[in-house]
Amino acid sequence: MKKTLQFLVLILCLSATKTIMAQDDLLSILGPEEETTQYANASFKTNKIINLHSIENTALGVLDFKIAHRFGFINGGAYEFFGLDQASMKLIFDYGITKNLQVGFGRTNFEKVYDGYLKYRLLHQSKGKRKMPISLSYVAGIAVKTEKFTNENRTNYFTSRLYYHHQLLIARKFSDNFTLQLTPSLLHRNLVESTAVENDVYSIAIAGRQKLTKRMAINVEYIYNLNGQIDPKYFNSLSVGFDIETGGHVFQLHFTNSTSMVEKGFIAENTGDWTKGDIHFGFNLSRVFTLVKPKHKD
């Protein structure tokens, strides 16, 4: 009986060795496994951080519709229901023309501003076969203020209502939980309040995202304007927000000293001072719709 067991074990070992050798021969025929490129995705939950554009693009053929609300300053106290008695709103439509090109259009009731932009991704962070340490996008936009001129007695030009901005979005997703983005910007205002301020405003913003749970993250952004470009009565923008994903919706709850929701406002015309409680509570509600289904190759 003992010799029979030894014989069976020997047969099994020989069979296993033969199988392993056959697998090795098959792999040698197929050749080494081809290395693939892995691109960073979901660096931010949507294409907006809080006020700023994020490095994320709306997908090809997808319409991202946002409703943005910004309530009054919370230091208004109970009489103003801590700002909830006042509100400004913006409707935002973002569409992905290609996987790298996105366009958008918006309208806000604050100063009755219409704005549009395009965003193109130049570099996409990746690892593997193709290595790229950062993602890089370029944003160009225009806004027109349609609120009535404060002084109707002087000669007012349509061009005085126009504002332009150019931005570079430089981002790196350091881990599944943490992303950092730098955003240098140039804002041009055709008409300014006085000769004491500049028509061109150069700024740089830093923003970060820290994932807290599977469906929640915290975002922080700060926009620094170089000295002497804006009126001393204005303050740099500082915002803190939370992203909450619920199926097909993303809720963005935030606190910010920026009343305006367009670049000319939240970059260069913030009247809110955090140290005095000039803080707005607001939210963005995002819903995506697939208008054109992309064609997939076999």
CB 257, CB 241: distance < 8 Å: no
CB 113, CB 145: distance < 8 Å: yes
Condensed to tens digits (0 to 9), the pLDDT of residues 92-129 reads: 999 999 999 999 999 999 999 999 999 999 999 999 98
Q: Provide the pLDDT for residue 13.
A: 47
Condensed to tens digits (0 to 9), the pLDDT of residues 151-162 reads: 777 788 889 899
pLDDT at 21 over 50: no
Task: Extract the tokens encoding 75.
Answer: 């230091």
Q: Which class for 106: exposed (0-12), middle (13-18), buried (19 or more C-beta within 10 A)?
A: buried
Grade residue 229 by pLDDT with cuts at 50, 70 and 90.
Answer: confident
Q: Provide the pLDDT for residue 55.
A: 96
Q: Provide the pLDDT for residue 195.
A: 77
Instruction: For 87, list phi and psi in degrees, rounded to 5.
Output: -160, 145
The 10 Å Cβ neighbour count of residue 63 is 16
pLDDT at 17 over 60: no
Residue percentage of the chain with pLDDT more than 90? 63
DSSP per-residue string spanning 40-99: ---SSSSSBSSSSBPS--PPBTEEEEEEEEEEEEGGGTGGGGGGTT-EEEEEEEEEESSS
Condensed to tens digits (0 to 9), the pLDDT of residues 33-84 reads: 567 999 998 899 899 999 999 999 999 999 999 999 999 999 988 888 888 8
Where are the domains positioned within the chain? 1-33, 40-290
Q: What is the pTM of this model?
A: 0.83
Stretch among 151-155, 231-235, 261-265 having the lowest mean pLDDT: 151-155
Q: Provide the pLDDT for residue 27.
A: 43
Task: Extract the tokens encoding 70.
Answer: 């910004």
Task: Extract the tokens encoding 150.
Answer: 């404060």
Q: Which residue has the higher pLDDT, 191 or 237?
A: 237
Q: Provide the pLDDT for residue 296.
A: 60
pLDDT at 5 over 60: no
Give the pLDDT mean for 213-225.
94
pLDDT at 250 over 90: no
**Which fold, 40-290?**
Porin (2.40.160)
